[in-house]
Structure 1
Amino acid sequence: MHWARLRGGEIREHQTKGKYAESEVKKKGQKRTKQGELFGFNGFDQRRGVLQDLGVPLLHQIISSPEVALCRCKNAWHVMLHKKASFPSKRLEKQGRNSATPDLPPLRKASSFSKIQHEAYDYIIVGGGTAGCPLAATLSKKYKVLLLERGGSPYGNRNISYLENFHICLTDESKNSPSQGFISTDGVINSRAKVLGGGTCINAGFYSRANRRKHRYQKMGLILFDLTITRRIKWFSMVGQIYQDISQLFNLKPRCRFVKDAGWDEELVNQSYPWVEERIVYWPKIAPWQAALRDGLLEAGVSPYNGYTYDHLFGTKVGGTIFDEAGYRHTAADLLAAANPDNLRVLLHASVNKVIFKTRHGHQKQSAIGVQFKDENGGHHQAFLSQKRGSEIIVSAGAIGSPQLLLISGIGPRSELKKHNISIVLHNEHVGKGMSDNPLSSVFIPTKDPPKQSLIETVGITDDGVFIEASSGFGQTGDSIHCHHGIMSAEIGQLSTIPPKERSLEAVHKYVRNKKSLPKEVFHGGFILSKIDGPLSTGNLVLVDTDPNSNPNVTFNYFKHPQDLRRCVYGIKTIEKIISTNTFSNFTPKDGGYSMEKLLNMSVAANINLIPKHTNDSTSLEQFCRDTVVTIWHYHGGCHVGKVVDQQYKVIGTSGLRVIDGSTLSRSPGTNPQATVMMMGRYMGVKILRERLGRAAGV
C-alpha cells in the first residue's frame, strides 16, 4: 500500500505561499499501531482539503467517518483507520461504477408480459425512478419483485449519458423522450422524468445529503477564528479543515435534522447513503466557473470552506456528482446491478393506470392486490401479488405520478373523484395537497470568453435558508440534435422574444425547432443561481383526466409565503456581493460596465417562464424574484406522512399499499434531493426486509 508523509513545514509553506505540499511516498506493507491501522495517501492538497490523486479523491469523506481520524504526529499528517472499521480497499482504488454498461437484470418491454408465464409477485413497484430502483434492487435479494416503468431505458441515449447534452433532454418531445414537459398553473415551465432511473437521468447531477444540525461545540459558542480579521481565502480553507478535525477529535457527531424530523433510524440512514455513493457517485473536477463561485462565496463571507463533502454544512463546499471523470452520467438505474436478477423482473413502457383493490374477508380496509397497466403497443395487462402475508404494491412514481395514480385508483378527495366518475375506494382529502417546488432565481453574467460548460458542483449554504449555486456554458456532441439551450433550464436566453401571452408550451417547442439556424452561441456567460430552502409556500395537484400519461394541473404558489420572498431577496443580495469580488472581475469584460441593475435587467429577459414581466421595475428585488422564478426540479409533496401515508409509508386506510418517493416529503432535503431519495429507497428496502425476516434478511 502506498502511504505518504506530509511534513508540517511544507503544509505551512503551502498555506502561506500557495504552493502544493510535496509528499514523501514510500511503498510499505500494512502498518499497524496500537491506535489502529495507518493509511497515508499520495497527492494530498492541503489548501483544497482533497486528495487530488484520481485513485483516492476521498479525504473529506474519510475524515467525516466516526471510525477515522486525521491526526498530526511527529510533524506529519496521518489518516488513522481503526482496526474494527469497515473500509474496503477497492473503495480506495476507485470511486463509483466506472462501467458505462453495468451488469443489469434483463430490461424487457411491457408487451413481453403476455408472452411469459404469469406468476404472482411479493412486491410490485410502480415507477423505476430515483427511489424505485434502489428499492427494487434491495427487495429482490429475498423476494420476487416486478418493477414497472412507464418510460424506456436510459442506456444508449447520448442525451442522457453525457454532461454536455444535459439541456437537450429537456427539449426532446419525441415519443421516447426521457422527459415530459408541463407548465404549472403559476406559469413556470417544468419537467417530469419518463425513463428508467427517473429524475437522475435528466437532472444536473449534483449529489448532497440532507440537512444537518450544528455541531455541539458550535452550540457552546466555541469560536475557532474571528473570520472578520482576514478575508483571505487560504484561511477559510484551513478553518474548514480544522472544523472537520475537531469534530473527529472530540467525537462530535452532528445529527441530521431532516432525518430526525422524518423519524428515520439514523444508523440505517448512515448505512444507506454510502450504499448509493459507492456505486454511482463521484467527485467533480472543478470547472473554472465553479472555482470562481467557490472563491467568490468565501470572499463574500459564506464561510467556512468545508472542502469536498457530501454533508450539508453551513459555508461553502464542493459536493458529489453522478457524472464520472469522463462526463458520463450514472443513474439510479445503475443501482439495479445490485439486485438478484433471478428475483427481479423489469418491464419498460409499462404505464400503470390503476391499482386493483379487494375487500378481504373480515377486514374493513381495502387491500391492494395488483395493478393494471398498458404496454407500448396499447395492450392491457394485469399483475397480481402473491398470497404471502406482507406482499405489497409500492408506488414510487414521483411527486407528480404518485398522487396522480392514487387519485385515478380511487383514493383522494371525494369531490375530486366524483368529478371524473372515479369509483371511490377511500376518501382522503389530503391526496394531492401540500405540493411544493423550490423557487430558483438566477443572475446572468456575461463573460469575456465562452466559459467551459459546468453544472452544479459548488454550493454556498447560508444560515438564512438560501443556497447559492452556478452553471455555465453550452455544448453538445456531434451525434446530438443541434439545438443549444434547454427550455426548462436556467441556461436559456432568447425565448424572451416570444410575447408573454403567446408563450404556450407548443409555441416554445416551435421556437426551439426553428432556432436551429441561429448561430451556435448567441451570448457568452454563466449563471449564478439562488435556491431557497423549504419552501414554505404550498399548492395542490388535481386531475385533468384519468389518463396516467397526461399531466395533471399543478399549482405551487411560488412566494405565497412572505418568508420565501424574503429569502429570495437575500439570495440576490448575496449574488451581488459575489459578483463584486475580485474573483469575478477576471471573467467579465473590463469595459463592459455591467452594474447590478443592468445584470438584473438582462436576467429578467434571460429567464423564461409564462409570467408577465415588469421590465421597468429593476429597483425592486421582490419583483425581480417574482418575474424570474424558474424551477430547479425539486418539487415534492402530494402524499405527506401523517396525512396520506403513515410513518412506514403505508397508505392510511388501506392494506398492502405504500408510497415511497419524494411525494411523501414536506420539504426538499439539503441542496439537492436526489441523494436522500435514493437513500430512502435503499433504507425502506432494508427496513422492510428486516421487519419480515429479522436477522435472516442479511442486510
Structure 2
Amino acid sequence: MGRNPVQNPLHYATPQVPTGPPATYATAGRLLQGYDYVIIGAGAAGSVLASKLSEDKHVSVLLLEAGGDNTKVLETKVPILFQKLFHSEHDWDYQTVEQPALASRRLYWPRGRILGGSSSMNAMMYHHCSKSDFDEWASLHDCKGWAYDDLAPYLRRMERFTPNAARPRIDLQHRGNKGDWQTGYSWLSEMGDKGFIPACTEAGIPAIEDVNTPNGTMGVTRFQTFIDPKGQRSSLATAYLTPEVRKRPNLTIACHAQVTRLLTDRLTGPSPIVIGAELQSKRGGELFQVHAKREVILAAGAINTPQILQLSGIGPKDELDKHGIPVVLESNAVGRNLKDHLCTSAISCKVKPGISLDYLANTVSALPALARWLLLGSGPLTHNAGEAAAFLRAADHYPFAGSERSPPKDNTSGGVGPDLEIIGAPLAFIHHGEELPLDGANIFTLVPIALRPLSSGTVTLRSRDAFDHAIIDPKYFSDEGDNDRTVLLAGLRVCLKIMRSPSLQQFLEPVPVDDDPWSYWWPYSSSDIDKITDDQLLRWMQEKAFTLYHPVGTARMGSSAATSVVDSQCRVHGVQRLRVMDASVFPEQLSGHPTAPIGAMAFKLSEMIREEAASESPVRPNL
C-alpha cells in the first residue's frame, strides 16, 4: 500500500512476509522492513513515545496499534459518552477469572483498543497522584530517576492548563501552560459543588483546591480533567498524534496490527537480541514481520505487554512450557505483581428530580445538551462522571459506630499518602453504568476505592494464539490479614457518613424506612446507618464490587531480575534492545489515577533514549 500521510495516515508498514528458517541477526535484516524504533501499542505511553522520538528527523519510527483510529469516533470526543465505548470494537472487553472473594464473579475490565488507548475511553481524571508514591519507587524499589522531582518537570512540560475565573483559585506555578496536553475543569453539577464537597468537609475530610502539587492529595477537591477549551476530550492521542505529527515522513502509524510475538536472535551473543515483531491484521490472516534497527518498545499495557512477552518466550518457565513456547529468557516476574484499584461498588443516593444527569441516558432528553455541546462546547456533555473526589487514610476515620473491626494496617506510601478515594458523581454508575437505577430514580453516586492494595494477581496465557485474551486473575482480597477488605469497609462507612451530612441531605429524596437497607441500590436516606452491620456491608461489597480500571505492575521496574522485569532505564533484564513503557512497569500501585504519570514517564523515557542514542554510535545490523 502506498504512503500518503495526508489522505491515508493509518496504514500498514508494507512489512515483508517471512520466509525460510529462523534467521541470524544479520540475515534477518535483509528479510524485514526496517525502522529504527518499533513501538508496540499506541495507548497513552505509545502515543507520547512515537511523537517525541519522531521529532528527530534522522530516525524512523513505526507505531503499531491493534485497534483503530480515534479521530472520527464521536464517543472519544464527547466526555460524558465514554461509557458508550464499553464492549465496542474499541474496547479489549476483558473479563477476569472468577474471583472467590467476590461471590465467584467474573469482572469486566474495559481497556482502550484504539489510538490513545484507555486515555481515549476513560473518565478524564488528570491526577499527578501523591509525591510520596514516586519517592517510594525510588527509595524502596530502587527505581532511581523516577522520584516525584524527576517526573514533575515532565508533568508540567506536557500540560497546557486553561484557567477559569469560575473555577477554584489555584497556584499556577504548579500548572503547565505551554504543553501539548490540554487540561482544565469539566462541567460541575450543583450537587457536586454545594452537596458532595461540603458534605465531605462535614464528615471530617478537609477541602483542598489543587491535588496536583508536591503538597500531596489528601482532602476533597474538584477534579481537574484532560479537556480542551472546546469541551472535547484531550487524549494522549489527540495531544501527541496530531495531524501535523502524523504527516512526518519518518513516522508510520499502523492500525489493526496485532503483534503476535517479538522476534529475537539468540545465535550471535550471550543474551537474546530483539530484532523486530511479528504481526497479523486478523486471526488466521497473513503473518508479517517488521525489523527494529535500534529498539523495540513494548507499550501495550498491563495486560497485553506481559502477554506479548510470554508469547515471545520471555516469562516464567512453567507458563511457557505449559503452552509449548520455547524459552528465550526465563523471567519469573513477567505477568506477576498485578495490582488493581477495586471499588466496593457505588452507594447510590436517590436525589430530587432534575438534579442528577441520569436524563442524559434518554436520547430525546439529551438533545438540548447535545446541541449546546455542538454549538458552544459546553454544558453537561462535557461532564467527566467523576467530578469531585476525596482522598483520605482509612485508619484516620476509625472507629465506626456499628463496626467491630480494628483499623487497617498502614500501607500508604511514605506513611503520608492516601489509601482511600471517594468519587462523587451526579448520575447512576452501577456496574460501569450498564444498569439503570430502579424505578427510573435520579441518583448521586458515591464510589469508594482502595488505592493501595496488598493483594496481587497474575496475567498468564490462555493459549499460544495472540488473539486469545490472556487469563486475568487479580486475586482480589487475597492478602494475608484481610487488610484490603478492612480499608474498603472503611470506605463504605465514610460514604454513609457523607450521605448523612446536612449538605448532601438537602438534595436527597426521602424514601420509606425498610428493615433491609440494601433492598435497593442505595441505603435509605432515613435509615439508621449505625444499625448497618459489617456483615451487611461486606455482603454488599462481595456482590457489587468492580474495578476502577487501573491494572499495573505486570512488568515491574526494579534492580533485581529475580523480582522485576525492567531496569531503571526500562530495559528488559537479560534482553538486548527491548524496553517496556506503560503501567506494567509500575513497581507499586499509585494512590490515584495513572494516566498523567504514564504520559510523563513516556516523555521522560523518550528523552533518555534520545540522549543515549546521541552518546553512542548508531547500532545497526551489518547488512
The structure carrying a bigger strand percent of its residues is 1
Give the whole-Å Cα distance in 1 for the aligned partners of 2:46 and 2:98. 28
Partners of 1:603 and 1:628 within 8 A in 2: no
Choose which of 167, 174, 198 in structure 1 pairs with 2:117: 198
Equivalent of 1:322, from 226, 229, 236?
Answer: 226
Residue of structure 2 aligned with 1:661, choices 582, 585, 588 = 582
Question: For the Cα contact (< 8 Å) 2:211–2:217, is it kept in 1?
Answer: no
Match status 1:381 vs 2:288:
yes
Conserved? CA contact 2:62–2:252, under 8 Å: yes
Q: Quick one: which of 410, 417, 435 aligns to 1:493?
A: 435
Give the superposition deviation at 1:358.
Answer: 0.5
> What SS class does the counterpart of residue 35 from structure 2 fall into?
coil
Pick closer, same or farther for the CA change 1:268–1:689 going to 2, 3 Å: farther
Identity of aligned residues (%): 22
Aligned partner of 1:400 among 303, 307, 330? 303
Distance 1:644 1:325, change over 3 A: same
1:336 pairs with 2:241: yes
For 1:146 and 1:417, the matched residues in 2 are separated by 28
Pick aligned residue for 2:496 from 573, 576, 595: 576
1:349 partner letter = H
Deviations 1:5-56 (A, max 9, x none): xxxxxxxxxxxxxxxxxxxxxxxxxxxxxxxxxxxxxxxxxxxxxxxxxxxx
Distance 2:139 2:389 in 1: 24
Measured in 1, the distance between the counterparts of 2:6 and 2:607 equals: 20
The reply on whether 1:425 has 2:328 as its aligned counterpart is yes
Is this contact kept in 2: 1:600–1:618, CA < 8 A? no
What TM-score do the two structures reach when normalised by structure 1?
A: 0.66
Counterparts of 1:201-220 in structure 2 under 5 Å?
201-213=120-132
The 8 Å contact of residues 535 and 667 in structure 1, kept in 2 or not, is answered as: no
Deviates more, 1:200-209 or 1:103-112: 103-112
SS in 2 for 1:364: coil
- Structure 1 residue 180 corresponds to structure 2 residue 100: no
Cα distance in structure 2, aligned partners of 1:318 and 1:438: 20
Change (3 A) 1:105 1:385: farther
Aligned length: 499
User: How far does residue 287 in structure 1 lie from its aligned partner after superposition?
Assistant: 2.0
Q: How does 1:525-544 map to 2 (within 5 A)?
A: 525-544=443-462
Shift in Å at residue 463 of structure 1? 2.7
User: Following TM superposition, by how much is the alpha carbon of 1:547 offset from its aligned partner in structure 2, in angstroms?
Assistant: 2.2
SS in 1 for 2:241: helix
Which structure: larger Rg?
1
CA displacement, residues 356-388 of structure 1 (integer Å, 9 cap, x when unaligned):
000353x210000011111259332111022xx
The one of 100, 104, 123 equivalent to 2:37 is 123
Is the alpha carbon distance of 1:654 and 1:349 closer, same or farther for their aligned partners in structure 2, counting shifts above 3 Å?
same
Question: Aligned-pair distance for 1:647?
Answer: 1.7
Superposition CA RMSD, Å: 3.2
State the distance in 2 between where 1:493 and 1:532 align.
23
Q: Which residue of 1 aligns with 2:392?
A: 462
- 1:471 aligned partner: 425
Matched, 1:146 2:49: no
> Residue 555 of structure 2 aligns to a residue in which SS?
coil
1:300 and 2:203 correspond: yes
Q: In structure 2, what is the Cα distance between the partners aligned to 1:355 and 1:322?
A: 33
| Distance (Å, rounded) in 2 between the aligned partners of 1:655 and 1:112 | 25
**Paired residue secondary structure (1:435):** coil
Deviation at 1:256, TM superposition (A): 4.9
Q: 1:577 to 1:259 in 2, by over 3 A?
A: farther
Q: Deviations over 1:242-292 (max 9, x none)?
A: xxxxxxxxxxxxx85456554325554122112332223222232224322
From 648, 657, 675, the equivalent of 2:596 is: 675
The 1:182/1:641 distance shift into structure 2, 3 A limit, reads same
CA distance in 1, matches of 2:292, 2:82: 38
What amino acid does structure 1 have at the position aligned with 2:460? Answer: V
Change (3 A) 1:113 1:384: closer
Aligned equivalents of 2:73, 2:260: Cα separation in 1:
27
The equivalent residue for 2:159 is: 277
Q: Decide whether aligned partners of structure 1 residues 120 and 331 sit closer, same or farther in structure 2, where only a CA change above 3 A counts.
A: same
**Distance in 1 (alpha carbons) for counterparts of 2:422 and 2:591:** 12
- Distance in 2, matches of 1:696 and 1:461, equals 48
Residue pair 1:134, 1:678 contacting (<8 A) in 2 also: yes
Larger RCO (alpha carbons 8 Å, 6+ apart): 2
Describe how 1:53-452 pairs up with structure 2 within 5 A. 107-110=9-12, 113=15, 119-142=33-56, 143-172=59-88, 176-186=89-99, 187-213=106-132, 256-257=135-136, 262-265=143-146, 266-278=148-160, 279-291=181-193, 292-307=195-210, 309=212, 312-324=216-228, 326-334=230-238, 335-337=240-242, 339=245, 341-359=248-266, 361=268, 363-375=269-281, 378-386=285-293, 391-441=294-344, 442-450=346-354, 451-452=356-357
Residue 602 of structure 1: CA displacement?
A: 2.6
Distance 1:462 1:588, change over 3 A: same
Among 466, 472, 497, the alignment partner of 1:554 is: 472
